[in-house]
Amino acid sequence: MREQVETTIEVIRPALQADGGDIVLHNVFEDTGIVEVELTGACVGCPASTQTLKAGIERIMRDRVDGVTEVINIADEQAAAAIGN
């Protein structure tokens, strides 16, 4: 599954880079189907990054890789945790 996710990210990456952003794969949890990524560059702080993640990256990932259930931006998770502390 991880190899398929990596291949799919390589397909998605040029569109993100064209807008000054990028994507880094951190984890693929095959048991839950959750993929952890980090959006970088211009994606950080971009108001459209959540839409890009859910309607773009996650949709493509679910279409192309059997078993993917969700794509999570760990930078968002870390920011939420910092605010909660």
pLDDT of residue 39: 96
List all residues 6 or more positions away from 36 whose beta carbon is below 8 Å from its beta carbon: 25, 26, 27, 28, 29, 71, 72, 74
CATH of residue 25: 3.30.300.130
Range of the domain at 14: 2-84
Cβ neighbours of 80 (radius 10 Å):
9
pLDDT score at 80:
61
Amino acid at 37: V
**Tens-digit pLDDT profile for residues 43-75:** 998 899 999 999 999 999 999 999 999 999 998
DSSP state of 56: I
* Banded model confidence at residue 78, pLDDT cuts 50, 70, 90: low
State how many domains the chain has: 1
- 2-39 confidence digits (pLDDT tens): 999 999 999 999 999 999 999 999 999 999 999 999 99
The pLDDT, as a whole number, for residue 65 is: 98
